[in-house]
Amino acid sequence: MAQSETEMMLKGYGLTTAEFFYHMPDYIHVLNTFIWQEYDLAPDHPKLFEFIDFWQREIEGPLHSVKFTHRKMIAPGEWRNMVGEFRVN
């Protein structure tokens, strides 16, 4: 079953954005870029490295380099379930 983004963030996942620089298959001296985003776990980044392996196996354009950043939007210690209501008249 698919998890919601909030559930993933509470389990420690953060948004990983990667910019892939790759050589065009027909014009090897021309670099192109591709942007990839996914919720992933730092510091190992298993989904990012799985995508890099897929790229190297299946995509014709050889990779030149990859830049990425990771941002945890919420951490388990930052979120609290609040129960209660205060009324101000």
DSSP state of 2: P
**8 pLDDT tier (thresholds 50, 70, 90):** confident
Q: What is the pLDDT of residue 16?
A: 93
> How many C-beta atoms surround the C-beta of residue 63 within 10 A?
14
Q: What is the pLDDT of residues 13-61, one digit of tens each?
A: 889 999 999 999 999 999 999 999 999 998 899 999 999 999 999 999 9
> How many C-beta atoms surround the C-beta of residue 58 within 10 A?
7
Q: Which of 20, 47, 24 is nearest to 34 (CA)?
A: 20
Q: What is the pLDDT of residue 35?
A: 96
**3 pLDDT tier (thresholds 50, 70, 90):** confident
Return the domain boundaries, the chain.
5-78
pTM score:
0.75
Beta sheet of 14-23, edge-to-edge order: 31-40, 14-23, 63-71
> Distance of alpha carbon 30 from its chain centroid, rounded?
26
Question: What's the Cα-to-Cα distance from 31 to each of 19, 39, 62, 78, 87, rounded to whole Å?
Answer: 12, 26, 10, 41, 60
